[in-house]
Structure 1
Amino acid sequence: MYRILIVEDDFALAEAIRRQLESWGNEALCVQDFQNIIPTFTEYAPHIVLLDVMLPYFNGYHWCCEIRRISNVPIVFLSSASDNMNIIMAMNMGGDDFIAKPIDLNVMTYKLQAILRRAYDMSGSLPFLEYQGAVLNLNNGTLDYNGKSIELTKNEFRILQTLMENKGKVVSRDALMTRLWQMDSYVEENTLTVNVARLRRKLAAAGLPDLIHTKVGQGYIL
């Protein structure tokens, strides 16, 4: 089951698209707040975004650029302005496809299914992880928060990735060391402590001082 975010201000059309997609076994969410789309995007963590070009406050091209700052998730534009210039602009802004209005819901569904298969059948996972507004980009190993990009070392990235994959659960020190060991040379316990401390300093400097908690005798938890 894929999660699909629908960014369309024609609420009747958005609802029709949602029902169509859910009838195919997907999960779909219609954006309600068109002034602040990114918080909805990061919280919902969709596999694909359906994005109208003409929207209140900011157009779809703006939101495509904002999404592309933090994610490579597939984006499909919707627009009644289906001239070549708009299609070219949509692709240049980072779009993956363009569907002209009026929309044939069946054709749209087959297009989306094809894009989803290409994007996820091989990888099997989303290209980012999110926790409380902090977005970890799995493609380039950076953490984005509040408009800032935080550079991480290889081990810092792996530690944070493991914690984010298990958000809300305690991850033991042994599990973290095994994660690092599997991907690199053996990691001593003191090395893990040093890396966690360095990661915490970076997070604190970015405005996330309490993201990682220590559970004495157990490990770490977000």
Structure 2
Amino acid sequence: MKTNKMKIWIGCGIICVLSVLLSSWYAVTFNDSRLIVPMDFKNYVFEIRDLPMIVSVSLTCIYLAMLFVVLFIHTGKKQRQAEETGVTRKINPRLGRLGVLGFLGFAGFWTYSVNGIVFPFAFFLFFGFFGFYYEGKMSGTFMDERFRENIACAKLKAYRITFGIMLIALVILCQGKLFGSLEYTLIAAIITLSLALALGIFLSEYLLYRYDHDDQAEEGGE
């Protein structure tokens, strides 16, 4: 994905988050918290003041769905190209700065306290994008047999750590309501899942970078 397109997608994501926050503030301040607090949708009657919240949430859902599809297609395309050429894909290491978006996850504590919205916690997943820095450092590397073995080892170790964290979290959360609240349990599950996946994404690139450079150092020492 080109840098300009990446910036556009990031900008759209920020706009979606801001629109949800603003529409939530509007609903709490001017619309009696409709569509924010739990309500009986069987008797729901549309009002024009509900429009900002409906539009912002709809746009955010569409954005997330489109982002998932685009990333899935882009990743598959790059993997096929790498297999055909035998060279790792070219990525600018500065894309690792996208990991800063992970700090948007902390906004979830504010949105939950204000209007009960928990989806911003999912932004912790973006911490995994710090791995783009290490992937960028290895752009254009010829994938010989040793490099492919390092890829397998790095991914295996990253998956083990990620699975271990998720398993421990699952065991703990299945013990019952966290602090006596199902909402806290849901929040803990979202945060744990997002951070675990982010760690897996980051480690797969960091470990590969470390393994590859360790091998080069050993060859240089010989």
TM above 0.5: no
More helix by share: 2
- Greater RCO, CA 8 A, separation 6+: 2
More strand by share: 1
Query: Which has more radius of gyration?
Result: 2
TM-score under structure 1 length normalisation: 0.26
